[in-house]
Structure formats: structure tokens, C-alpha cells
Amino acid sequence: MAEAARSTADEPVPSDLSAAQLEEMYRYMRLTRELEQALVNLYRQNKVVGGLYRSLGQEGCAVGTAYALRRRTDGTGDVISPAIRNLGALLLMGARPVDVLRQYMARADSPTRGREQNVHFSDRDRGFIGLISHLGVMVEVMAGVALSFRIRGEDRVGLVYIGDGGTSTGGFHEGFNFAAARRLPLVLVVENNQYAYSTPVARQTAAESFVAKAPGYGVWGEQCDGNDVLAVYETTRRAVAHARAGEGAALVELMTYRRKGHAEHDAQGYVPDGEIELWEKRDPVDRFHQRLLDAGVATGARLDAIAAEARAVVDEARESAEASPLPEPDGVLGGVFADDSGRAPWTRRTPLDPHQA
């Protein structure tokens, strides 16, 4: 029942992926990187209202995992809940770059109409449910999404991401144990990027790895190199197949590294010298680029064209987002309840004079 196999070695390019699919993975990794670079520029121009959370060096985790899913646009596919550094997964599921930009820039026509920020937005038809800042709760929520698949007899799978830090929360345990105990089709991806804000993974757990927790929950588990997008894809594909087949929940640990700070303001003074440089050499986009060349899947010119195309997509989205208006102040009103036209005591709607009340 419980096993914790490991596959860290590079594998050949999986035979079931066509050249077009491999190029698509590459395109989404590049798109993620280009979009975040645009966000960095906007952040420096003070056009990003809140914090900026980057996934530099982790693009393979997001894209490789989501690529293993059944992606639909009509609400019948698999459902994910991305963590803050899974922008690539969100894009792959169908989120538009312009929506991400508008979210960060708090514009009126962002998916949450300026009420929420960054990747905290949802699209049930495209199969993603936005996270909130409280870590762990999405594991609980996604256990319930997987429960709904079981109740309705649908062969869909839920996939939820959490970081090494998030594994310490109660929600991680309660949600995952619930899914494990009921053998629900939930894949839990622990993206181990070595740091939770400034706290290294050794201060987060005494376990030798996060995949080592899989047998404790009685679930299938596998760990792989998170900077190898094809290894991520293969491992997640096995986990998803396991869950879809009714074999129960699965845990995937992706070994990666957060090359930027927790958010853009974080100068990473807590990182030992040389560590970031070491991981730059393991960059997942560069590695995949080289691998596609070595395997003869694509030419350098073709991959350059894909990158240029991603840049163009982002440029167009940025122009559109910059032209978007900020919300009207009273856009804050409404939507708390299905029908909140009546009794809710909106302060500025309450007449001060009791005779008018």
C-alpha cells in the first residue's frame, strides 16, 4: 500500500510526449519567466500595489505538474489549487497573463475586481481555485473538491500545491489525512524550495524528507528533481494515474530552490554565500532548453522564436493591464452575501439622524 519510491536521475524524454507537447511545456516555462520579469519591471515602477512573489528557478515544478493533468475549459477537467509560486501551473490551466497583471496592479477589471491580489483568483471552468494567504487550508479545501468527485462518481483528480513551510500547518495534516483516510483522488505536491520566507527547511521538520511522510499517511509517494520539468511531469503523471484509478491520495515532493526572496523586498541576507549561484547552474528553463536541443526535438532558432513569442504575449498583456482603470471606491460594497441589498449595516449608507432611520 504505502511506498516511497524515488526517481532523481535524469530520464530520457518520455516517449508519449510529442515534439509539439514538449515545445508547449517550454513555451509555458518561458511565459512564466517573461511574465514575472514584466512584473519585476512594473514593481520597480510602483505599479504593483502589493508584494511580488516570484518563482524564478521553480518554473519546472509548476509546468511539469500541471501538464500531467486533464485540462479543460468547461468545468469538467482536473482541478488545482496553486501556491504562490505556481504561476506556470495557473497559466497552463488557462489563466491569462493579463489577468495576473491586473491582479498585481489591483485594477477594476482584474478577476477579483481589485479585492484580492496576485494569483489569489479562481476559475472553476478552467479548473483552478485560488489560494488564500493562510497556508494549509487549501489542502482541506482540495480534499473536499476530491470528495465531490468521489460523491459524483467522476474520474477527476484534485491537485494541491504546498511549500516546505506549509507542511508544518494543521491544515496540511487535517486536509491530507482526510483525503488519505477516504482514499480520495487528491495529489499533494510538496514543492520543497528550501526556504519558508527566511526559515530553512531544517527548521521546519525533523523528517529526512517530505516524501518520507507519505508512508505515515498510508499513501503513495515519490520524490523527484523539481528542476527537471520532465521528471516532474513523469512523477506527477504517475501520482495522477494512481489517484484517478481510485487508489487513493498521493504525495509528490519536488526538490527545488527559491532563487529570489520570499517577496521582491526580501534581500535574502539569510542565504549562505554561493548557494544561489549553485542553483543558477541548475536552472530548469536552461536545462530543458539544452535537453530539447540534445534530443533533437527543436532547433535553437525554434526555441528562440518561442521565447520571443512569449515576450510578445506578455508585452501585449502589460499594455492592456496598464490601460485598465483602478476600481471605483464603492466597488468594495456588495458581494459579501448572495443578497446583501437589505440589512447589512454599511456605514456610509446609514443616515446619522435617527428620525430618518
Interface residues with another protein (CB under 8 A)? 79, 111-113, 115-116, 120-122, 124, 129-130, 132-134, 137, 139-154, 158, 170-171, 173-175, 177-178, 181-182, 335-338, 342-345, 350, 354-355, 357
- Classify residue 208 as left (phi > 0), alpha (psi -120 to 50) or beta: alpha
Task: Tell me how far apart the alpha carbons of residues 96 and 80 are, in angstroms, rounded to a whole number.
Answer: 16
Choice between 29 and 179, CB closer to another protein:
179
Percent helix / strand / coil, the chain, rounded to 5:
45, 10, 45
Residue 355 burial (CB count, 10 A)? 5
| Least distance from another protein to the Cβ atom of residue 339, Å | 8
| Least distance from another protein to the Cβ atom of residue 178, Å | 5
| Least distance from another protein to the Cβ atom of residue 174, Å | 3
Q: Give me the amino acid identity at 164.
A: D
| Least distance from another protein to the Cβ atom of residue 309, Å | 30
Instruction: Please name the residues in contact with 339: beta carbons below 8 A apart, sequence gap of 6 or more.
Output: none
Alpha helix (H) residue ranges in the chain: 19-44, 59-67, 87-93, 97-104, 137-152, 170-181, 214-217, 229-244, 275-280, 284-294, 300-323
| Least distance from another protein to the Cβ atom of residue 121, Å | 6
Instruction: Answer yes or no: are the C-beta atoms of 104 and 117 closer than 8 Å.
Output: yes
Choice between 145 and 224, CB closer to another protein:
145
| Least distance from another protein to the Cβ atom of residue 109, Å | 12
Rg of the chain on CA atoms, in Å: 21
Please name which of 165, 159, 117 lies closest in space to residue 139, comparing C-alpha atoms.
159
Task: Tell me how far apart the alpha carbons of residues 34 and 42 are, in angstroms, rounded to a whole number.
Answer: 12
Grid cell locating 213: 511522510
Transcribe 281-308 into DSSP letters. TT-HHHHHHHHHHHTTSS-HHHHHHHHH
Taking CB atoms within 8 Å and a gap of at least 24, the contacts of 259-263 are 259/56, 259/57, 260/54, 260/56, 260/57, 262/53, 262/195, 262/197, 262/198, 263/51, 263/52, 263/53
Grid cell locating 212: 518520507
Choice between 153 and 296, CB closer to another protein:
153
| Least distance from another protein to the Cβ atom of residue 199, Å | 20
Using the 8-state DSSP alphabet, how is residue 241 labeled?
A: H
